[in-house]
Homo-oligomer: A and B are copies of this chain.
Amino acid sequence: MSDQEFSNETTRLVHLVSQGEVSEALHLLQTMPYREATRALLRLSPELRQGLLTNLDPAEAAEVVEHLPEAEAVEVVQQIPSEKAAAILEELPSDESADLISEMESGKAESILSEMDPEEAAEARSLIQYEEDEAGGLMVTEYLKFKEEMTVSELVADLKEKAEIYSSYDVQYIYVIDHSQKLVGVLRLRDLLLSPGKVRISNLMINNPLAVLHKDSLERVEEFFEEHHYEGTPVVDDQGRLVGVVQRSDLEAAVSHRNESQYLKAQGIVGGEELRTMPLGVRSRRRLSWLSVNIVLNVIAASVIAFYQDTLAAAISLAVFLPIISDMSGCSGNQAVAVSMRELSLGLVKPSEMFHVLRKEFAVGLINGLALGLLLGGVAYLWKGSLFLSLVISGAMMVNTVIAVGIGGAVPLLLRRFGKDPALASGPILTTVTDICGFFLVLGGASLVISRI
């Protein structure tokens, strides 16, 4: 591997780490722009990355881990000794460290958890029970909570005393709980600022604060933040006990991640994630799992062509138009898929509103089908001068465009309705159906008027 193509800093980092000069390497990383440093770390071999982390102290190593994309971070932390890994994870925010642990092989995760500070380990264990896309998986456990019987001056004294621990907390809101850990109120820091010291916080707090449930879906939390202009929301369990806080920024980041993974799935990246630093076998296998389904579907669709071989032999120029019809129907249909996917994720359409979507899509399909059909029919006429050939081609293009946008618009709603992931399956279903219909329209149509083409 030649390093010439990478920046000088990257080359220098590789050199420093391979010489074991980790504190120099850390210093170099700190002087690099953030993303440049991330890229440089990704260009290190897995062994060098491991060596770097093992030889830095935990807080410094945590800083390095935070630069890495999640999959890479999991990989490298798994490879270093559990004791060291535990110390590094303790330095990360609770939600990030839980995300990493939950992605590890269970044996290694267990061994790291057993090396962690018991309190931190218990916290991590409670967080890793949750899925990444539910409220419990989005929340942090670093937040301020106090018992309702405290006074303002007691609270302020605690803030002073534990200033260092709290320094990394987001403290816009302070949550108030009763003796059984139930959430009973929320206090804004500014209200505290404006109140005399002997007031009980239960008299100052906003009662019955809104909260999300720990098992609420990402969509539900998203809707919560659309409805309420808060920067954070408490999360409670089924008994109403306060278990964490979701920040608006964490929700937005999760939505962004979901959109990104939908895009990747729609382009055939199974699992919704691939980085070029992943092992070749993993990348190749994941991509192939999607491609192999597609090639089978493609062969099935193309068998329509085999069925009409005689027609095709009689008018060989039809073969030129088959891939065009196939590609263009795919394009038109994918536009409709994309709009449906987006309207679904913004909640602008419900899975049951199929007719609404079909009506809207058919209108677009008729106009665009007419335009594309006339264009392609015109090309056919100019090339071959056969009115019948051109009618068959333009008719097939028109009808198939309408079919493609209808299917493209409807399939994501249908899949969602049956609890399937529309991102991954919509494309293959769309192209298979539109290929079959398209080939059939061109070749079936041509066979009816074959003597005149």
Q: Could you tell me if B294 and A346 are in contact, using CB atoms closer than 8 angstroms?
A: no
Closest Cβ neighbor of A322 among chain B residues = B323
- Which chain A residues (319-334) contact chain B, with CB distance < 8 Å? 319-324, 326-328, 330-332, 334
A400 to chain B, nearest CB (A): 13
A143 interface hit (Cβ, 8 Å):
no
Copy number in the complex reads: 2
Q: Are B324 and A295 in contact (CB under 8 A)?
A: yes
A189 to chain B, nearest CB (A): 5
How many residues of chain A have a CB within 8 Å of chain B? 118
Question: CB-CB < 8 A to A249: which residues of B?
Answer: 231, 247-249, 251-252
A338 within 8 A of B: yes
Do A267 and B194 form a contact, CB below 8 Å, given A287-B368, A331-B290? no
Given A5-B355, A223-B34, A375-B292, A275-B343 contact (CB < 8 Å):
yes
Q: Which residues of B contact A317 (CB under 8 A)?
A: 306, 309
Chain B residues with CB under 8 A of A267: 266, 334-335, 337-338
Q: Which residue of B lies closest to A380 (CB)?
A: B299
What chain B residues lie within 8 Å of A193 (beta carbons)? Answer: 156, 159, 189, 192-193
Q: Is A305 an interface residue (CB 8 A)?
A: yes
CA–CA, A252 to B323, complex, Å? Answer: 41
Chain B CB within 8 A of A352 CB:
yes
Cβ of A379 under 8 Å from chain B: yes
Q: Is the CB of B349 within 8 A of A39?
A: yes
Q: How far is the CA of A331 from the CA of B270 in the complex (A)?
A: 13
Give complex CA distance A275, B339 in Å: 7
State whether A194 touches B334 (Cβ < 8 A): no
Interface centre among A276, A290, A367 (most CB of B within 10 A): A276
Given contacts A39-B349, A275-B343, A295-B324, 14 further A-B contacts (CB under 8 A): A39-B350, A171-B189, A189-B193, A263-B263, A264-B338, A267-B334, A274-B339, A280-B367, A287-B368, A291-B331, A292-B372, A298-B328, A312-B319, A322-B322
Q: List 28 A-B contacts (CB under 8 A).
A: A2-B355, A35-B226, A38-B347, A171-B172, A189-B189, A256-B256, A256-B259, A263-B263, A264-B342, A267-B335, A267-B338, A268-B331, A268-B334, A269-B335, A276-B348, A276-B356, A276-B360, A284-B364, A287-B335, A290-B331, A291-B335, A292-B375, A299-B324, A299-B376, A305-B323, A306-B383, A309-B316, A316-B316
By Cβ-Cβ distance, the 7 closest A-B pairs, closest first, are A252-B252, A35-B347, A267-B338, A256-B256, A263-B263, A248-B249, A34-B227
A-side interface residues toward B, CB under 8 Å? Answer: 2, 5-6, 33-35, 38-39, 42, 69, 156, 159-160, 163, 166, 168, 170-172, 189-190, 192-194, 223, 226-227, 229, 231, 247-249, 251-253, 255-256, 259-260, 262-264, 266-269, 274-277, 280, 283-284, 287-288, 290-292, 294-295, 298-299, 301-303, 305-306, 309, 312-313, 316-317, 319-324, 326-328, 330-332, 334-335, 337-339, 341-343, 346-350, 352-357, 360-361, 363-364, 367-368, 371-372, 375-376, 379, 383, 431, 435, 439
